Amino acid sequence: MLLISCPYCGPRDETEFHYGGQAHVAYPADPHALSDKEWAEFLFYRDNDRGAYAERWSHSLGCRKWFNAIRDTVTYDFKAIYPMGEARPTTADPATKQPATAEPTPAQPAPTPAEGEGAR
């Protein structure tokens, strides 16, 4: 189960949300001036980057509000969630085209059996 944290309602199950595509896609200033090819590219062609990616989400079974999120497309981890209209956070900027990585955790040594335990 994936929990998504709505900026208005708090953490909820993923089944309450609908994906809305890539975030921060600017609408053409004069769409009537676009060729059919340019219009099709605006409508259907989106980035498909590996790593941190800005997305739009709707809390369709909750408050019904839209919000943006930065999600790692490799691990499905949400790195940032922010309301529509706010600037994209710089901490997980998808423009870098680098995978989002967590801080490495130090390797833990394997536990050793206590005296008197172990292989028999």
Q: Per-residue pLDDT tens for 54-89?
A: 999 999 999 999 999 999 999 999 999 999 999 998
Determine the 3-state secondary structure of 9 from DSSP.
coil
Q: For residue 104, is it within any domain?
A: no
Q: Per-residue pLDDT tens for 1-33?
A: 889 999 999 999 999 999 999 999 999 999 999
Q: Would you state the structure tokens that stand for residue 42, as one six-digit string?
A: 């605006």
- Say what the pTM is: 0.69
Q: What's the domain range around 9?
A: 3-96
How far apart CA 25 and CA 56 sit, in angstroms, is 10
Judging by beta carbons within 10 Å of its beta carbon (0-12, 13-18, 19+), is residue 45 exposed, middle or buried?
A: exposed
How far apart CA 69 and CA 84 sit, in angstroms, is 9
> How many structural domains is the chain composed of?
1
Q: What CATH number does residue 25 fall under? A: 3.30.2270.10
